[in-house]
Amino acid sequence: MLTQRPRGMHDILPQEASLWHEIEEAARRICARYGFSEVRTPILEHTELFQRGVGENTDIVEKEMYTFNDRGGRSMTLRPEGTAGAVRAYVEHKFYGGPQPIKWFYLGPMFRYERPQAGRQRQFHQFGVEVFGVADPAVDAEVIALGLDFLEDIGLEGLRLELNSVGCPQCRPMYRERLQAYYRPLREQLCEDCRDRLERNPLRLLDCKRETCKALAERAPRIEEALCEECRAHDEGVHRHLEAAGIAYEINPRLVRGLDYYTRTAFEVVEDGIGAQGTVLGGGRYNGLVEELGGPSVPGIGFAAGLERLILALEQRRGEGTSETGVDVFGIALGDEASVELTGWLRRLRALGCRAERGFEGKSLKAQLKAADRLGARWALILGEEERRRGVVMVKDLAGGEQRELPVLEVESWWKETEHGTGR
């Protein structure tokens, strides 16, 4: 146990880290273009926040949360998603009192006790955005465009946007009844989960993944016929804004978010070629959530994307991740005094931006040159006892092979010229 990580918890090793940086940098870059600022909320929140914010009848709350009592006896939960914490922060810091919209993004680890599989871990990472305070369909289109720009920026191809409206508290109850009326005579054909959902949360019957349930969902009444006037107008507005932005979409009437505070727009971006579960980003409008979590009635919309899945997709496209840290100078000291001196000028070189490494433990010249080679260093600076007494250092071009002597006092100006010459 001591040398084994917990199931579903993943070490991101140095050779994978560069891919993570790439994805995180893309998220920040695209968010800056759209005027979104980063929010960092705690990884731990009061359990009640997720019970209310994610929903009591969801798999997440019923089966997947890491919940425990802290030493003060309070029930705490490792966040299973990012929206509830963002809403809590928006309300707690009274952002609703200032100019709207508030546009936030977050990046960080989430925790769900699920069966681990490729691209799905118990500790996983999400990039997500939230917009509070504006109900305009232009915001829906902007959020979707941001998500697509991000996915395209990191190099995903074959992306498909699926879109639906889940109605609102005015029109959805009638649709629920219609769904129940359709499904009740078919009850025996439903899977166990769906039989359970039929009375509590019938919309979720539409996105069940079992084959028999899928077939029944195909013929179920469609929500678009049940939408109220406002929902229909909003939906059409979203379509028009998307079309103006050159974004293609498909209406998927079985795309639902089953909770009451989800309203109108629901969307998913599907990538073809990552396997059966191809959704790489999903989100929607939640005009009732801020109020549900103790704030005023303020509209909101957001999405989240699981980074593990994106990493997997990128690795499949590019082959294994490589970490090119890069080394400019490898310092080789021969002898104790030389080693001490090397410590001094390596620090000065690094202060100039030079990526410098060195050999340790008084290894032979041959062994240290080998180490420099292994790191792909461009130059070796060799300081032997004899050179040290004469106040010089040997500069060896590890790509070309030439070497020359350089006064130790000129090492810094040599680097400045060299750096300049290589255009780094």
Name the site residues for Zn ion (rule: CB under 5 A).
167-168, 170-171, 191, 194, 208, 210, 213, 228, 231
Nearer to Zn ion, 86 or 171 (CB): 171
**Would you tell me the crossing angle of helices 14-33 and 307-318 to the nearest 10 degrees?**
110
DSSP symbol at 18: H
Burial of 321 (0-12, 13-18, 19+ CB in 10 A): middle
Q: How many helices (H) and strands (E) does the chain have?
A: 15, 16
Smallest distance, Zn ion to C-beta of residue 213, A:
3
71 is in an annotated binding site: no
Q: Is 126 annotated as a binding residue?
A: yes
Give, for 165, the enclosing helix (H) or strand (E).
strand 159-165
Structure tokens at 147: 């998500």
Cα three-residue angle 394-337-384, rounded to 5 degrees: 25
Q: CA distances (Å), 337 to each of 334, 345, 410, in order? A: 8, 13, 19
> Does 257 count as an annotated binding residue?
yes
262 is in an annotated binding site: yes
Is residue 122 annotated as involved in ligand binding? no
Strands of 56-158 (E only): list them.
67-69, 75-78, 102-111, 123-132
Choice between 19 and 208, CB closer to Zn ion: 208
Two tokens, residue 264: 């109108």
Minimum CB distance to Zn ion, residue 220 (Å): 12
With a CB cutoff of 8 Å and minimum separation 6, the contacts of 414 are 395, 406
**Least Cβ distance, residue 216 to Zn ion (angstroms):** 8
Q: Which residue, 228 or 406, has its beta carbon nearer to Zn ion? A: 228
Q: What's the one-letter identity of residue 136?
A: D
Give the side-chain half-sphere CA count within 13 A for 348: 13
- C-beta of 15: minimal distance to Zn ion in Å? 41
Q: Smallest distance, Å, CB 42 to Zn ion?
A: 35
CB of 114 to Zn ion, least distance (A): 18
Q: Which is nearer to Zn ion, 170 or 180 (CB)?
A: 170
Residue 155: phi and psi, rounded to 5, are: 100, 10
Q: Where are the alpha helices (DSSP H) in 274-335?
A: 289-292, 307-318
**Choice between 210 and 416, CB closer to Zn ion:** 210
Class of residue 225 by CB neighbours under 10 A (exposed 0-12, middle 13-18, buried 19+): exposed
336-351 and 411-422 helices cross at what angle (nearest 10)?
50
Nearer to Zn ion, 111 or 183 (CB): 183
Would you say 196 or 373 has its CB closer to Zn ion? Answer: 196
For the CB of residue 167, give the shortest distance to Zn ion in the complex, in Å.
5
Q: What is the DSSP letter of 117?
A: B
Nearest distance, CB of residue 112 and Zn ion, angstroms: 21
112 known member of a binding site: yes
C-beta closer to Zn ion: residue 123 or 165: 165
Q: Which is nearer to Zn ion, 210 or 254 (CB)?
A: 210
Q: How far is the CB of 257 from Zn ion (least distance, A)?
A: 14
Q: Is 261 annotated as a binding residue?
A: yes
Q: How far apart are CA 100 and CA 96, in angstroms?
A: 7
As a dihedral over the C-alpha atoms of residue 80, residue 86, residue 91, residue 92, rounded to 10 degrees, the angle is: 80
Annotated binding site: 81-83, 112, 126, 130, 257, 261-262
- Residue numbers in the known binding site for L-histidine are 81-83, 112, 126, 130, 257, 261-262
